[in-house]
Amino acid sequence: DAGVIQSPRHEVTEMGQEVTLRCKPISGHNSLFWYRQTMMRGLELLIYFNNNVPIDDSGMPEDRFSAKMPNASFSTLKIQPSEPRDSAVYFCASSVGQVPNEKLFFGSGTQLSVL
Amino acid sequence: AQSVTQPDIHITVSEGASLELRCNYSYGATPYLFWYVQSPGQGLQLLLKYFSGDTLVQGIKGFEAEFKRSQSSFNLRKPSVHWSDAAEYFCAVGPITGNQFYFGTGTSLTVIP
């Protein structure tokens, strides 16, 4: 299996621009997670989906952030408009099943720089 | 509130020396505890996990961790560090509700020759 695939690996954009991060989970996994990693706050859960339905988006920082999962094999995290404080590494992860969830499979992350 | 604390932001050890990375958690019930490693430019990889039973758990790459309920700790150890162990290490607790995990802020490990 190719694992969780994220694109792009690196994104550099200017403040105010729209940014779209993409994720392809492992085939057969029905839970998908978006995390953000910063030096100050460490790894934070932004949102997670189960069977393509958003279950908890309480970690989404503000309305500029939105996430979709139109089908079981694809998810996007969009920031519009982007701001310099959004600069971080964004991880996507997927897993099988519900509680207890013993293993998450992480993608390699997208390094976002907003200038 | 549920939280995970990794008190050491950065640790430097010599190759061949022993290693212990600290993790403390705050959680309202029996926790499920995890250690992940993130190598430069890579995603996160699960090192080991604790659900129940033996409080000393063995993981990959020669790592082990001990769950101590009385101390709310889940410290990661390795008897002899290799240069390839240089990475960022994250402790996590979960799930709490649904499939949420809560992570510590990470400990950066540097290994010197």
DSSP string of B60-97? GGG-EEEEEGGGTEEEEEESS--GGG-EEEEEEE--SS
Option in A42, A101, A108 nearest B104 (CB) = A42
CA distance, residue A6 to nearest chain B CA (Å): 10
What is the average pLDDT across A6-15? 94
CA distance, residue A41 to nearest chain B CA (Å): 6
Distances (CA, A) of A72 to A90, B55, B110: 20, 37, 39
Alpha-helix residue ranges (DSSP H) falling in B9-110:
none
CA distance, residue A45 to nearest chain B CA (Å): 7
What is the Cα–Cα distance from B71 to A14, expressed in whole angstroms? Answer: 46
Residue B1 has pLDDT above 80, yes or no: no
Query: A59: nearest CA in chain B?
Result: B100
Partners of A3 on chain B (C-beta within 8 Å) are: 43
Residue A98 has pLDDT above 80, yes or no: no
What is the average pLDDT across A52-74? 92
Name which of A16-30, A82-96, A97-111 the model is least confident about.
Answer: A97-111
**Six-digit token string for A48:** 């997670």
Sheet holding A65-71, edge to edge: A5-7, A19-24, A74-79, A65-71
Task: Say if CB B68 and CB B22 are below 8 A apart.
Answer: no
Name which of A15-24, A62-71, B82-91, B92-101 the model is least confident about.
Answer: B92-101
pLDDT of residue A100: 41
Option in A42, A56, A101 nearest B105 (CB) = A42
Partners of B96 on chain A (C-beta within 8 Å) are: none
pLDDT of residue B110: 95
Option in A42, A48, A109 nearest B99 (CB) = A48
A→B contacts (Cβ < 8 Å), by residue, are 3-4, 31, 33, 35, 41-45, 48, 50, 55-56, 91, 93, 95, 98-104, 106-109
- Best probe of the B interface among A9, A41, A43, by most B CBs < 10 A, is A43
